[in-house]
Amino acid sequence: MAACPQFHPHDIVLRSDTSHDNPFFVDVRARLTSPSGEVTVVRGFYDGDATWKVRLCPNLLATWRYVTESSDAALAGHEGTLECTASTNPNVHGALVIDPAYPHHFIYEDGTRPFVLGYEANWLWALGFLEDGESQLRRFCERIGSYGFNHVFINAYAHDTRWAPGKSHPEDYGPPPMYAWEGTNETPDHSRLNVTYWRNFDVMMRALLDAGLTAHLFIKVYNKEVTWPAIASREDDLFFHYVVARYGGYSNVVWDFSKESYNERNKAYCANRLALIRTLDGYGRLVTAHDDWTLHFDQRYGGMLDFVTDQKHDNLATRVMDLRRLLRPMPVINEEFAYECGPGGVDDLSYHPRTRHTAEEHVLRAWEVVMGGGYPGYYYLYTAWDVIRPEEVPPGYALHQRLVSFMRETAWWELEPHSEIVDRNFGRCLARLGGSGAEYLIYNNGAAGPKGEGQRLTVNFSNFAYGRATLTADWLHPLTGERAQTEVEVLPRMQLRPPFEGPYVVRLTPSTTTANGGRSLQT
């Protein structure tokens, strides 16, 4: 009997000497039966050298049974059992799913709750082609994981960027060292995948899994110079089938129809691909589409997405609140809203967007997303696209780690946006209302205002019957890490006066102990 750690992939390897015109179109699958008798149909894929694989991923500690089915008799009828054992990797928690009790938030299969912090690394797989590629991939994944990043945005394939065509830097991987299909981008053979490319992709997926990072996989991308199969063609179906079959067995994957999916004007095609993903994926991983308001709001496509993957560069908190208000309850990730420049300053760029940001500007914008009730992404211009410097540690890492650490000090998933509590020109508020269990998380962006009113943020408690209650104020300066704790006496309308200058976040909770006298802390 074979054994497999819980939430990890396990490959059934099948061989056939039968001659096929095109082995990529051979149908092979396995029926995986759980201890309770529930059957999951898992599709297989061709891996070259007359070998097909079906990638299983048991999620319960027990003995599972499987049997293969195929149009090729040599691949059918293979039966076996698989013992699912406890994982020894504390980073692996199973699939990312929607929390049924708090549907604006995520949870893992094992009940662990992530504070989702995205990281854009579209060409990450390209590092695997280097001589020490696997080592570089593992170091990179472990490093960003140590700073709180846990949701990595990756293209299944991307060819080149229009802003850095060809080899613009020594670390420029567009065009990449290997093509996803046979042939070339100029003369592709979309009826056959390049299995060597995808074996390299496997190495990256395993590094992400072992580091506890979700692989947010853009199956397509519309602005990275890829020659795609004709839409809805047999070759297009093959590509979706191959990617879903090969990577659905990784518990850390979520599917995204396409980056910049608004570029696909044929929304019936988009809907067809989303439905195809769900049909092909027996494991039921989450499905989304990047930056496509039609798929979000058109009732013809209602229910096709499990969460929002947005791109918005202004009114960040308001945008998240609007999405929460207008859509059925689901998590919102704004994965692209700022671009952190290189170590040389705002002119140190691999890409020249109209706006570029310091690390401080980036993290303050991330706080805006969080305070709207969403989850932020992160862009560093030397890892986001085809120019990759994986060993660099930009200052934004520590700033975003501080954000995650502060949010994880409390039950953030229980907090809801309450814009009526603060002056929205300068502040944002998440709150859990209700007596002794109340909590207010207030963010001030540090803008001064013409009369200094930004620093002296007005808070409206007039609708809440606190009497002469006292709140404990736990302050954080999001840029310096300075901490302080004070006590605040509640008034119907009151001004918060922070113990330091600049932007701040403060958590207000009913006071149960004497404050520490305003003693400053550091994080």
Q: What is the DSSP string of 124-136?
A: GGGGGGSTTHHHH
Tokens of 329: 């309850």
CATH topology of domain 418-522: Immunoglobulin-like (2.60.40)
Tokens of 445: 């962006």
Q: How many CB atoms lie within 10 A of CB 131?
A: 7
Contact of 110 with 94, CB cutoff 8 Å: yes
CA separation for the pair 280, 285 (Å, rounded) = 11
CA separation for the pair 80, 168 (Å, rounded) = 51
Tokens of 510: 């009913």
Contact of 246 with 55, CB cutoff 8 Å: yes
Tokens of 118: 């995205």
CATH superfamily of 2-85: Immunoglobulins (2.60.40.10)
Contact of 474 with 510, CB cutoff 8 Å: no
Tokens of 420: 């009526």
| Tens of pLDDT, residues 200-258 | 999 999 999 999 999 999 999 999 999 999 999 999 999 999 999 999 999 999 999 99
Instruction: Give exposure, 467-491, as e/b (b: 16+ Cβ within 10 Å).
Output: eebebbbbbbbbbbebbbbbebebe
Contact of 191 with 24, CB cutoff 8 Å: yes
The three-state secondary structure class of 412 is helix
Tokens of 117: 């912090």
Beta strands in 16-74 (DSSP E): 28-33, 39-46, 51-56, 63-70
Contact of 178 with 197, CB cutoff 8 Å: yes
CA end-to-end span of the chain, whole Å?
50
CA separation for the pair 504, 499 (Å, rounded) = 9
CA separation for the pair 372, 320 (Å, rounded) = 5
Q: How many residues does the chain have?
A: 523
Q: Which residue intervals of the chain bear CATH 2.60.40.10?
A: 2-85
At residue 492, the pLDDT reads 85
At residue 427, the pLDDT reads 87
At residue 523, the pLDDT reads 36
Neighbouring residues of 427: CB distance < 8 A, sequence distance ≥ 6: 442, 443, 444, 445, 457, 459
Burial class (CB in 10 A: 0-12, 13-18, 19+), 191: middle
187 to each of 164, 179, 182, 226, 314, how far by Cα in Å? 22, 11, 9, 11, 41
At residue 467, the pLDDT reads 55
Q: What is the pLDDT along the chain (523 residues), one digit of tens a residue?
A: 899 999 999 999 999 999 999 999 999 999 999 999 999 999 999 999 999 999 999 999 999 999 999 999 999 999 999 999 999 999 999 999 999 999 999 999 999 999 999 999 999 999 999 999 999 999 999 999 999 999 999 999 999 998 888 888 889 999 999 999 999 999 999 999 999 999 999 999 999 999 999 999 999 999 999 999 999 999 999 999 999 999 999 999 999 999 999 999 999 999 999 999 999 999 999 999 999 988 988 878 878 999 999 999 999 999 999 999 999 999 999 999 999 999 988 888 777 666 789 999 999 999 999 999 999 999 999 999 999 999 999 999 999 999 999 999 999 999 999 999 998 677 899 999 876 688 999 999 886 444 444 567 889 887 665 556 789 999 999 999 999 999 998 888 888 989 999 999 999 998 874 334 443 333 3
At residue 353, the pLDDT reads 66
CA separation for the pair 435, 296 (Å, rounded) = 36
CA separation for the pair 342, 64 (Å, rounded) = 49
CATH code that applies to domain 116-410: 3.20.20.80
Q: How many CB atoms lie within 10 A of CB 402?
A: 21
CA separation for the pair 447, 121 (Å, rounded) = 32
Contact of 293 with 256, CB cutoff 8 Å: no
Is the bond leading into 175 cis (omega within 30 degrees of zero)? yes
| Tens of pLDDT, residues 94-153 | 999 999 999 999 999 999 999 999 999 999 999 999 999 999 999 999 999 999 999 999
379 to each of 82, 110, 133, 334, how far by Cα in Å? 41, 29, 22, 11
Tokens of 181: 């299909």
Task: Point out which residues pair with 235 in neighbouring strands.
Answer: none
At residue 494, the pLDDT reads 87
At residue 27, the pLDDT reads 98
At residue 131, the pLDDT reads 93
CA separation for the pair 313, 365 (Å, rounded) = 9
Beta strands in 16-127 (DSSP E): 28-33, 39-46, 51-56, 63-70, 79-85, 96-98, 106-108, 118-120
At residue 303, the pLDDT reads 86
Contact of 351 with 339, CB cutoff 8 Å: yes
Contact of 190 with 229, CB cutoff 8 Å: yes
Contact of 217 with 256, CB cutoff 8 Å: yes
CA separation for the pair 497, 506 (Å, rounded) = 10
At residue 462, the pLDDT reads 74
Alpha helices in 285-395 (DSSP H): 293-297, 316-326, 359-371
At residue 464, the pLDDT reads 60
